[in-house]
Amino acid sequence: MPRYRTRAMRRKEFALLLDALSQLGLHQLKQVTEQATRLAGYQEAQALIAQRIEHTAACPHCSGTSFCRWGFTHAKEQRYRCRDCGKSFTGLTGTALCHIHDKRQLLANAQCMKDRLSVRAAAKQLGVHRNTAFRWRHLLMPSLERHQPAALEGVAEADEAFFRRSFKGCKRGMPRPAYRRATRARQRGISAEQIPVLTALCRGSRHSFIAVLPPLPNTASVSTALGPLVKPDTVLCADSAGLYKSLGKKLGITVWQIPSGSHRQGANHIQNVNALHSRIRGWFHPFKGVATKYLGKYLAWFRFFDHSPHPAKASRFLLDAIGVPT
Ligand SMILES: [Zn+2]
């Protein structure tokens, strides 16, 4: 199995290079630091990409397992050649990231996403146009949507959070006139202006189920979302909303409803899901609003880093995006 290798400079030449640094001015030192950081990130990203080759251990074209190193691409990526079909490939072939030209920034881009930088802030940090930063972000996000829990077992909690419908970034074809920032909703309470997001999680777990529902949630939309997840012995704790009254009968499960104005009823409560909503609100804050068409992707992005009290590293995020289980 070919492994990723880096060539290090000889010790004598490296000592000369370090010595030469003392002759540089402040501006030149900053330039060297920036370049060194970029190259270190690139080498680290290359090592991560090589893990995908080790994981798949097969040609992405024919699934043949016999391949060898075959030089480097123009972007200095390690190229491989399949001995079965004769086609060449890299560690990113077949992933959404394979068409990114500047692969030196892959890890830095993942770090910007971990730090929840806005598109403009990420563009400034990466030294690229904001449209490029936007595109790179959206190439990474679809892979995150597959991390929904497979089932809700035991005692689970469910509730909806509401996000105001947003046409952020929409230049034409809006169904209503554009609002100025921070304009209040026209209708109070739940309306078609508010997009419901159904959240659910098992007691004692942070692996949350998050789904964007059509406006004005009802028993049908919630049962469609939760139906494939619940088991006959699932006990669902929910608030006093009317839709949960018929949900238990429709799904064949026990539903405990917390009366309005109470925090808990005996051992039943929805404090974990309320805490989840609080984390979601805090997490969305730096973005100053998210377009409704991207809401599901941003929630999947939140869920990936919220899965553990210790957020995943950028390297793990990148590995996940290229399909390496972590
Ligand atoms: Zn092949």
Mean pLDDT of the chain: 89
For residue 5, is pLDDT > 70? no
- The strand pair at 235-238 and 254-257 is best described as parallel
Q: Which pLDDT does position 219 carry in this prediction?
A: 92
Ligand 1 centroid to residue 110 C-alpha, Å:
30
Ligand 1 centroid to residue 63 C-alpha, Å:
6
- Please indicate, yes or no, if residue 258 is contained in any of the structural domains: yes
For residue 191, is pLDDT > 70? yes
Under a CB-based contact definition with an 8 Å cutoff, are residues 153 and 234 in contact?
yes
Q: Which pLDDT does position 7 carry in this prediction?
A: 63
Ligand 1 centroid to residue 8 C-alpha, Å:
32
Whether residue 127 is found in the same domain as residue 51: yes
For residue 136, is pLDDT > 60? yes
Phi, psi of 197, deg, nearest 5: -120, 115
Q: Which pLDDT does position 170 carry in this prediction?
A: 84
Ligand 1 centroid to residue 3 C-alpha, Å:
18
Q: Which pLDDT does position 103 carry in this prediction?
A: 82
Ligand 1 centroid to residue 65 C-alpha, Å:
8
Whether residue 25 is found in the same domain as residue 137: yes
- Please indicate, yes or no, if residue 4 is contained in any of the structural domains: no
Instruction: Calculate what percentage of the chain has a pLDDT beyond 90.
Output: 48
Query: What is the residue-wise DSSP string for 27-83?
Result: HHHHHHHHHHHHHHHHHHHHHHHHHHHHHH-S-TTT--S-EEEEEE-TT--EEEEET
Whether residue 135 is found in the same domain as residue 21: yes
- Please indicate, yes or no, if residue 17 is contained in any of the structural domains: yes
- The strand pair at 209-212 and 194-202 is best described as antiparallel
What is the average pLDDT across 150-177? 89
299 contact partners, CB below 8 Å, separation of at least 6:
197, 210, 212, 280
Ligand 1 centroid to residue 66 C-alpha, Å:
8
What is the tens place of the pLDDT at every residue in 249-272? 899 999 999 888 777 777 888 899
- Please indicate, yes or no, if residue 225 is contained in any of the structural domains: yes
Whether residue 200 is found in the same domain as residue 301: yes
Whole-number Å distance between alpha carbons of 201 and 84: 47
For residue 32, is pLDDT > 90? yes
Instruction: Calculate what percentage of the chain has a pLDDT beyond 70.
Output: 98
Instruction: Compute how many other C-beta atoms are within 10 angstroms of the C-beta atom of residue 226.
Output: 22
Ligand 1 centroid to residue 1 C-alpha, Å:
15
Ligand 1 centroid to residue 89 C-alpha, Å:
9
Query: Which one, of 286, 311, 310, 313, lies nearest residue 298 by Cα?
Result: 286
Query: What is the residue-wise DSSP string for 99-128?
Result: G-S-GGGHHHHHHHHHTT--HHHHHHHHTS
Ligand 1 centroid to residue 67 C-alpha, Å:
8
Whether residue 86 is found in the same domain as residue 206: no
Whether residue 154 is found in the same domain as residue 277: yes
Q: Give, in order, the Cα–Cα distances in Å from 248 to each of 115, 153, 269.
A: 40, 15, 17
What is the average pLDDT across 320-324? 87
For residue 13, is pLDDT > 70? yes
What is the average pLDDT across 275-280? 95
Which structural domain, as residue segments, surrounds residue 131?
11-145
- Please indicate, yes or no, if residue 133 is contained in any of the structural domains: yes
Ligand 1 centroid to residue 106 C-alpha, Å:
26
Ligand 1 centroid to residue 91 C-alpha, Å:
13
Whether residue 127 is found in the same domain as residue 29: yes
Whole-number Å distance between alpha carbons of 69 and 48: 17
Ligand 1 centroid to residue 74 C-alpha, Å:
21
Residue 24 pLDDT level (bands cut at 50, 70, 90) = very high
What is the average pLDDT across 53-68? 92
Q: Which pLDDT does position 4 carry in this prediction?
A: 53
Encode 172-190 in three state secondary structure: CCCCCCCCCCCCCCCCCCC
Whether residue 153 is found in the same domain as residue 284: yes
Whole-number Å distance between alpha carbons of 40 and 36: 6
Whether residue 46 is found in the same domain as residue 160: no
Whether residue 60 is found in the same domain as residue 137: yes
Whether residue 130 is found in the same domain as residue 260: no
Compute CA 123 distance to the chain's CA centroid, rounded to the nearest angstrom. 18
What is the average pLDDT across 6-17? 81
For residue 92, is pLDDT > 70? yes
Ligand 1 centroid to residue 64 C-alpha, Å:
5
Question: Using alpha carbons only, what angle is made at residue 228 by residues 264 and 158, rounded to the nearest 5 degrees?
Answer: 15
- Please indicate, yes or no, if residue 85 is contained in any of the structural domains: yes
- Please indicate, yes or no, if residue 245 is contained in any of the structural domains: yes
146 contact partners, CB below 8 Å, separation of at least 6:
none
Residue 6 pLDDT level (bands cut at 50, 70, 90) = low
Ligand 1 centroid to residue 68 C-alpha, Å:
11
Least confident segment among 53-57, 77-81, 90-94, 101-105: 101-105
Whose tokens are 């077992």? That residue is 153
What is the average pLDDT across 236-251? 90
For residue 185, is pLDDT > 80? no
- Please indicate, yes or no, if residue 100 is contained in any of the structural domains: yes
Ligand 1 centroid to residue 60 C-alpha, Å:
7
Phi-psi region of 29 (alpha: psi -120 to 50; beta: other; left: phi over 0): alpha
Ligand 1 centroid to residue 97 C-alpha, Å:
20
AA identity, residue 130:
R
**In total, how many domains does the chain have?**
2
Whether residue 229 is found in the same domain as residue 261: yes
Ligand 1 centroid to residue 85 C-alpha, Å:
4
Ligand 1 centroid to residue 45 C-alpha, Å:
24
Ligand 1 centroid to residue 326 C-alpha, Å:
26
Phi-psi region of 294 (alpha: psi -120 to 50; beta: other; left: phi over 0): alpha
For residue 88, is pLDDT > 90? yes
Instruction: Assign residue 198 the CATH number of its domain.
Output: 3.30.420.10
